Amino acid sequence: MKHFIITYDIKDDKRRSAIYKTLRNYAIPVQLSVFEACLKEENYIMLRYKLERLMRKNEDSIIFYRQCSRCEEDIIRLGASPEPFSDGIYIV
């Protein structure tokens, strides 16, 4: 399993909505335009493929920040931010 923080900046409302819906199938939204995901390699490849087909590479931006398991332990959450994987739930 690979852990990611995924962010996006999409100018067009229709494309942004499609990308949000696609990400919802693989990741947990934690802030506007920010998701957390724990993905098997094949799901990571499929998600990247789907996002690349939806986005316009000269206008939009999607960034995957890969986290190691040790980095995940160092996440500090303040306020009402969700704990997406706190109960052992993983997106596959």
Give the pTM: 0.83
- Report d(CA 16, CA 18) in Å as an integer: 5
Structure tokens at 70: 């040790």
| Helix/strand number for the chain, H first, E second | 3, 4
87 is in an annotated binding site: no
Structure tokens at 71: 């980095």
- Report d(CA 86, CA 46) in Å as an integer: 25
Q: Which residue in this structure is represented by tokens 């490849």?
A: 45
pLDDT at 92 over 60: no
pLDDT at 13 over 70: yes
The structural domains of the chain, with segments of one domain joined by +, span 2-67
pLDDT at 1 over 90: no
2-67 in CATH: which number?
3.30.70.240
- Report d(CA 51, CA 19) in Å as an integer: 6
Q: 87 versus 18: which is more confidently predicted?
A: 18
